[in-house]
Amino acid sequence: MISGERQHPGRRGRVRARGLVAAAAGLSAVLALTGTATAEAAPVPAGGFAAQAEALGLTAAEAHTLQDRADAYLAEVGGTQVAANRIRLGAGAVLTLALPTTAGARQGVSPGAAAYTCGYGHFCAYSDPYRSGDVIDMYACASYKIPWFGDGSWENNQTRGTRAQFRDNQFIVRWTDRGAYDNDDVADWSWVHYVTNC
């Protein structure tokens, strides 16, 4: 939405979950948890996303909560769900939802593990400070809606000198970063409604 107030589900009007870490998993559909997303959609296994969540070690309640979060994102930013914790946003970005801490612990991932690595040539917007929580990995030049409100973080790991523009709800550029490489470990998403990554 270009004008007016945006709606934010969840506490403080924010789609996010505290206390989340990514879990390294052998399931190819969610390899983006520990690496860089690609434009390719992973095939949905027999049993669908529930089967993926089970393979990741999530309980039924955790899987339900994860799907509720994915549904909230789909309603806010659109896209296509391509895995239990991934939504493809057009042809140029992937939103990866962090897994519950308990799922990561069951798979031997420590709570301090990095949630997501922003690959070279990418701009990543994170729901939580210090590059944690859910992440929108932008790898094609475009403008992307930011669904978060409050403190998060971002990393501009695009080709050297590429500058990202931060836009308000009227799609007006209110700030531009210094150019890649650049990052902000505690960034206020309250006024940012869109990022144009290049």
Give the alpha-carbon dihedral of 40, 50, 57, 36, to 10 degrees.
20
The average confidence (pLDDT) of the chain is 77
Please state the separation of Cα 142 from the chain's center in Å.
16
- Among 112-116, 121-125, 138-142, the minimum mean pLDDT is found in 112-116
| pLDDT reported for residue 106 | 47
**Which has more confidence, 30 or 189?**
189
Residue type (1 letter), 143: S
**Which has more confidence, 172 or 17?**
172
Distance CA(146)–CA(194), nearest Å, equals: 5
Instruction: Give a three-class secondary structure readout of 11-54.
Output: HHHCCCCCCECCCCCCCHHHHHHCCCCCCCCCCCCCCHHHHHHH
Residue 122: strand pairing partners: 157
Handedness of CA 36, 39, 41, 42 (dihedral sign): negative
| pLDDT reported for residue 164 | 98
| pLDDT reported for residue 39 | 39
Distance CA(47)–CA(13), nearest Å, equals: 32
Structure-token match 């970063």, residue found: 177
| pLDDT reported for residue 112 | 39
Residue 66 has pLDDT above 70, yes or no: yes
Residue 179 has pLDDT above 60, yes or no: yes
CB neighbour class for 80 (10 Å; exposed up to 12, middle 13-18, buried from 19): exposed
Residue 18 has pLDDT above 90, yes or no: no
| pLDDT reported for residue 49 | 86
Residue 5 has pLDDT above 80, yes or no: no
Tokens for 136, please give them: 């929108």
Read off the pLDDT band of 47 (50, 70, 90).
Answer: low
Which residues, 6+ apart, have CB-to-CB distance to 142 below 8 Å? 90, 92, 93, 196, 197
Residue 20 has pLDDT above 90, yes or no: no
